[in-house]
Amino acid sequence: MLRNEIQSRTGLTRKAIEYYEKKRLINPQKTDNGYRNYSDKDLEILTKIALFRKVGMNLTDIEKYLSSNKGSLSSVLRRKQHQLYAEGKRKAVLELIVKGESQERINEKIKLIEAEETIYEKLERSFPGYFGQMLFAAYQPFLNELLDKDGEEAYKKFVDYLDNLPSFELSKDEQEYIDDISSAFDMQTLNKVNEDKINAIKNIEEWLNANGKSISQYEEYKTSEEYQNSLMKQIQDKLQKFMKDNKYYEIAIPLIRKFSKSYNKYYEKLLEANDIYLNIENN
């Protein structure tokens, strides 16, 4: 079967399917005209992955389960039950799977979990891997809210837009670099950086006065030979070109502003702060 049918039957995005193929969890065959032909086995695996991701299982646990000759689902799920003890609804779904309850009943519980997912959780599940993280990390503080009815259409357009983007390719060295800094850059650190960024625009003049030295040092570093020849600069340039070529700022940002009220407020303040910064720089 073709990818459109696979997407329809699993609910996975194109990018997610491509990611799981790169991880060699599925092995679709290529037809003479270049299309991928997915087997019933591929469909079965992707259906399981989609289900397990929705109940909070990480890819490592999923890979262990899929590679197990005996299909040791019970042991994996029992371990996840302990980890997710405080998350009542997810724990309940895991119990239903272990007991072998009907898919219909499981899906009912899944819908309740999905209804309480934050926008960030939905996006992270839809776009696994470095592609999603590179795009969502900067918006993470503004996506920790539920998706309301007013934002559903904009959110769907955003997901469709991202899913139809061409592949964002990084070299092996670039991918390893992203993996290294991501592992060292935990969520607590990321939240602190984003919190500082939000606080900065509340009073841009005060922030500039307090951080003038650091800003000068950073701008000096950006012009240094070390930075200009770094992998970070290489990746940033590649990402900026990718976004520009695909009109990310013209298409994606307005959509994010529609489904995230907190980001819209931040964006408006950011425009004001930018005007103040430019005035200070010019005077």
Q: Going residue by residue through the chain, which has 283 residues, state the pLDDT in tens, using 9 for 90 and above.
A: 999 999 999 999 999 999 999 888 999 998 888 889 999 999 999 999 999 888 777 787 788 788 765 445 666 665 555 445 446 777 788 888 988 899 998 988 888 778 878 898 899 889 987 777 778 777 887 888 889 999 999 999 999 999 999 988 888 888 887 767 665 455 555 556 666 666 666 676 776 677 677 767 877 878 888 889 998 899 889 999 999 999 999 999 999 999 999 899 888 888 887 776 666 666 6
146 by DSSP, 3-state: which? strand
Q: Which amino acid is at 154?
A: A
The per-residue pLDDT for 181 is 66
The per-residue pLDDT for 85 is 41
Q: What end-to-end distance do the CA atoms of the chain give, in Å?
A: 63
Partners of 118 in the β-ladder: 146
- Give the count of domains, the chain: 1
Are 263 and 257 spatial neighbours (Cβ–Cβ below 8 Å)?
yes
Does residue 3 fall inside a structural domain? Answer: no
Three-state SS letters, 39-63: CHHHHHHHHHHHHHHHCCCCHHHHH
Residues 6+ apart with CB under 8 A from 154: 255, 256, 258, 259
The per-residue pLDDT for 189 is 56
Does residue 221 fall inside a structural domain? Answer: yes
Instruction: Report the alpha-carbon distance of residue 41 to residue 43 in Å, rounded.
Output: 5
Instruction: Report the alpha-carbon distance of residue 77 to residue 74 in Å, rounded.
Output: 5
Does residue 189 fall inside a structural domain? Answer: yes
Does residue 93 fall inside a structural domain? Answer: no
Does residue 32 fall inside a structural domain? Answer: no
Instruction: Report the alpha-carbon distance of residue 133 to residue 125 in Å, rounded.
Output: 11
Q: How far is residue 18 CA from its own chain's centroid?
A: 15
The per-residue pLDDT for 49 is 93
Does residue 40 fall inside a structural domain? Answer: no
For residue 276, what are the domain limits?
117-283
The per-residue pLDDT for 130 is 74
Does residue 168 fall inside a structural domain? Answer: yes
Phi/psi at 69 (5° precision): -65, -30
